[in-house]
């Protein structure tokens, strides 16, 4: 069954809407309440919309359903645009850079084996008060009595260096252990022997002067973003016929 539709001026149905009806049907999540949208509707109450012929309550509901259908595929766009519009920024800067660098290093346990010569020294020689003495004696063919032939008294000392040949005794092993550290950055936790974190932030203006950037910011906020979106809905589903509007009824 095809419903018969007739042009109805928005003023007719808008004037019949209660505060509860407005809030329940026209609010935009995370953007504004229904009253804000309704105030923009009222600016266009002279426009017309094709609505099913019938009582006023049915026509109000039909209008609200149209709004809900339109909002279902534009809601994400509106919310994203509003979030961007409300974001904090420096109006005098045309670039804003934020860099973050995190370096992780894991060495693990380090074991080192060094061969140390196991050695010792011995010293032989004179001591104070009793230096070693070497004497040689001889006999002759006509006498068997010992006669001193030569004599040497040593006053120095001799040092002997001995090195062990056992390889196991020559080995020395040491182990260097690392204590793992952690760092949390936002929702991410890093673990490593060493963690190096570097964050750089830069902002300023390169291509345009601060005055030009400020003027662009003023122009950006001059017009209502909500008004533009609501007008998009009204221009899609309603029309204006000027002074001849009375003939459509």
**Domains held by the chain: number:** 3
Q: Angle at the Cα of 231 (from 49 to 26), degrees rounded to 5?
A: 75
User: What is the average pLDDT value for the chain, to the nearest integer?
Assistant: 79
pLDDT-derived band at 74, boundaries 50, 70, 90: very high
pLDDT per position as a tens digit, 115-149: 665 565 666 665 555 666 767 667 776 766 777 66
Are residues 55 and 22 both part of a single domain?
A: yes
Are residues 52 and 100 both part of a single domain?
A: no
Q: Is the pLDDT of residue 247 over 50?
A: no
In this structure, what token pair is assigned to residue 248?
Answer: 């459509």
Question: Who contacts 49 (Cβ-Cβ below 8 Å, separation ≥6)?
Answer: 7, 8, 10, 63, 66, 237, 238, 239
Q: Is the pLDDT of residue 213 over 80?
A: no
pLDDT per position as a tens digit, 162-211: 666 666 666 667 777 667 788 787 788 878 777 777 777 776 667 777 77
Query: Looking at residue 193, what is its pLDDT?
Result: 74
Are residues 14 and 64 both part of a single domain?
A: yes
Report the alpha-carbon distance of residue 176 to residue 160 in Å, rounded.
Answer: 37
Tokens 């929702």 belong to 187
Are residues 185 and 215 both part of a single domain?
A: no
Domain containing 155 equals: 110-176
Q: Is the pLDDT of residue 245 over 80?
A: no
In this structure, what token pair is assigned to residue 158?
Answer: 């001799």
DSSP string, 116-166: ---EEEEEEE-BTTB--EEEEEEEETTEEEEEEEEEEE--SEEEEEEE---
Are residues 35 and 54 both part of a single domain?
A: yes
Q: Is the pLDDT of residue 246 over 90?
A: no
pLDDT per position as a tens digit, 18-53: 999 999 999 999 999 999 999 999 999 999 999 999
């Amino acid at each position: 069954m095809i419903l018969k539709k007739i042009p109805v001026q928005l003023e007719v149905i808008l004037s019949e809407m209660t505060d509860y009806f407005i809030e329940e049907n026209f609010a935009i999540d995370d953007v504004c309440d229904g009253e804000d949208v309704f105030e923009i509707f009222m600016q266009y109450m002279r426009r017309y919309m094709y609505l099913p012929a019938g009582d006023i309550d049915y026509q109000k509901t039909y209008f609200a359903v149209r709004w809900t259908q339109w909002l279902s595929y534009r809601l994400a766009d509106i919310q994203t645009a509003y979030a961007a519009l409300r974001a904090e920024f420096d109006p005098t800067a045309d670039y804003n850079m934020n860099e973050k660098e995190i370096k992780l290093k894991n060495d693990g346990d380090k074991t080192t084996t060094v061969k140390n010569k196991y050695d010792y020294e011995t010293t032989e020689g004179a001591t104070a008060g009793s230096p070693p003495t070497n004497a040689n004696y001889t006999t002759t063919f006509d006498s068997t009595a010992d006669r001193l032939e030569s004599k040497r008294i040593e006053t120095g000392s001799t040092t002997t260096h001995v090195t062990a040949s056992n390889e196991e005794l020559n080995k020395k092993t040491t182990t260097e252990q690392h204590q793992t550290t952690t760092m949390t950055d936002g929702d991410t936790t890093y673990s490593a022997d060493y963690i190096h974190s570097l964050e750089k932030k830069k902002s300023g203006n390169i291509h345009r002067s601060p005055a030009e950037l400020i003027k662009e910011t003023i122009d950006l906020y001059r017009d209502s973003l909500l008004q533009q979106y609501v007008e998009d809905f009204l221009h899609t589903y309603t029309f204006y016929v000027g002074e001849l509007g009375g003939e459509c009824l």
